[in-house]
Amino acid sequence: LTVGVVAETAPGERRVALVPKLAARLIGRGLRVVVEPGAGRKAGLPDELFTAVGAELGAESSCGDAADSRRSDIVLTVTPPSEEDIARLPAGTVLIGFLDPLGDPARVEALERAGITALAVESIPRVSRAQAMDALSSQANVSGYRAALLAAQLSPRFFPMLTTAAGTVPPATVLVLGAGVAGLQALATAKRLGARATGYDVRPEVAEQVRSVGAQWLDLGIEAIGDGGYARELTDDERAQQQRRLTEAIAGFDVVITTALVPGRTAPTLVTAEAVRGMRPASVVVDLAGATGGNCELTEPGENVDVGGVTISSPLNLPAGMPLHASELYARNLVELIELLVDSEGRFAIDPADEIVAGACVAGLPEEVA
């Protein structure tokens, strides 16, 4: 079997779906790895590092793309394929990557029509057996880390407390809304930078995790746990109450980082326009939910805006800004999934009834590949 690695074409994307040391692991299992020339360059992984472990480079075709890497049995991608990308995939290909099945169902239909078996990493069930394949978590970790660094950089203040001959500077106060994977990493990073960090979530069981990274827990008395232990959408009353209480709390912080998402839905508004007006000038909001509407009412996705001296930043792809480690973690997730699909002789051995395969498969029938 051949595993192809495409060079990402989405604007600003710098990650690559496979890194040399994990290409070596696949080759060790009897798979052929074909990499589109330049696929890893922006992640700091030139072609030579792939060929050194036995991967092959796809042949450049006349239109500039590498036909071979897209004509593999398994094709790995980071970002969802464009219409043209889909047109270049032969029927029967197993495509693995972020495919945004909830955000863009039309793309999933196009993959289905093209006869592609599409495994969306977002749809892998979050069972403990699939933990090593959890690309949402691995990339959220990077996002949380980068969000704290971005906030520190946008803030006109020091994060740590400083006592110097020129005076004493108090530590910055950082509030993180949503204490999932990204939120906890943002808290831990802000704390390591010396800020006074506080976390908030509607799932009370994360209070302990927030404290374990050295942050304080903000309790607003609203619990909203839905299916599978994930946050559910708040009722109108709960939302109004939450916004009121948060507006009061937010006024006391120099930095607010928001990471609250409800899978498949528009992001909840946690920072209202009124809350922004209540913040001191020179405060900063970093909103990680911009792609699904933002957690801040005044967020402009992908932009930095200034509202009365408060900077509101909505980065859309923080993992792309740290492509080497983001790619390494992502590639590890994908290789774990591939190992579930392939036997020790390097042949397809897909069990369509496996809950991980069945959950991840958003188009095409795995039976046909098997």
Residue count, binding to ligand NAD (CB under 6 A)? 26
Catalytic residue among 134, 201, 254, 287: 134
Compute the least distance from the CB of residue 261 to ligand NAD, in Å.
4
Strand partners, 231: 225
Compute the least distance from the CB of residue 242 to ligand NAD, in Å.
6
Catalytic residue at 243?
Answer: no
CA distances from 92 to 1, 67, 364, 365, 368 (A): 13, 16, 8, 10, 8
* Of 13, 134, 254, 328, the one binding ligand NAD by CB under 6 A: 134
33 touching ligand NAD, by CB under 6 A: no
SS3 of residue 361 by DSSP? strand
What burial class does residue 276 get, using C-beta atoms within 10 Å of its C-beta: 0-12 exposed, 13-18 middle, 19+ buried?
buried
Toward ligand NAD, which CB reaches closer, 182 or 195? Answer: 182
User: Distance between CA 302 and CA 289 in Å, rounded?
Assistant: 10
User: Distance between CA 143 and CA 149 in Å, rounded?
Assistant: 10
Tokens at residue 60, please? 């450049």
290 touching ligand NAD, by CB under 6 A: no
Toward ligand NAD, which CB reaches closer, 262 or 320? Answer: 262
Cα radius of gyration (the chain): 22
User: Distance between CA 243 and CA 177 in Å, rounded?
Assistant: 12
318 touching ligand NAD, by CB under 6 A: no
Compute the least distance from the CB of residue 180 to ligand NAD, in Å.
2
Say if CB 7 and CB 39 are below 8 A apart. yes
Binding to ligand NAD by CB under 6 A, coded x per residue (else -) over 193-212, reads: --------xxx---------
User: Distance between CA 95 and CA 92 in Å, rounded?
Assistant: 9
Catalytic residue at 153?
Answer: no
141 touching ligand NAD, by CB under 6 A: no
* Of 96, 108, 175, 181, the one binding ligand NAD by CB under 6 A: 181
User: Distance between CA 253 and CA 275 in Å, rounded?
Assistant: 11
> Interacting stretch for ligand NAD, rule CB under 6 A, among 153-161, 176-184, 275-283, 359-367?
176-184
Compute the least distance from the CB of residue 245 to ligand NAD, in Å.
11
Toward ligand NAD, which CB reaches closer, 66 or 186? Answer: 186
Sheet of 310-313, strand order: 216-217, 196-200, 173-177, 255-258, 284-287, 310-313, 304-307
CA distances from 316 to 35, 50, 211, 289, 301 (A): 27, 29, 28, 8, 7
User: Distance between CA 40 and CA 13 in Å, rounded?
Assistant: 11
Toward ligand NAD, which CB reaches closer, 127 or 365? Answer: 127
Toward ligand NAD, which CB reaches closer, 14 or 203? Answer: 203
> Interacting stretch for ligand NAD, rule CB under 6 A, among 77-85, 123-131, 163-171, 310-318?
123-131
Catalytic residue among 126, 192, 239, 245: 126
Catalytic residue at 203?
Answer: no
Binding to ligand NAD by CB under 6 A, coded x per residue (else -) over 248-287, reads: -----------xxxxx----x-x-----------------
> Interacting stretch for ligand NAD, rule CB under 6 A, among 15-23, 33-41, 83-91, 174-182?
174-182
SS3 of residue 10 by DSSP? coil
Toward ligand NAD, which CB reaches closer, 50 or 200? Answer: 200
User: Distance between CA 174 and CA 279 in Å, rounded?
Assistant: 13
126 touching ligand NAD, by CB under 6 A: yes
Compute the least distance from the CB of residue 268 to ligand NAD, in Å.
4
Of 111, 35, 112, the closest CA to residue 67 belongs to 35
Residues that bind ligand NAD (CB under 6 A): 126, 128, 131, 134, 136-137, 140, 177-183, 201-203, 231, 234, 259-263, 268, 270
Where in the sequence numbering do the catalytic residues fall? Answer: 126, 131, 134, 137, 230
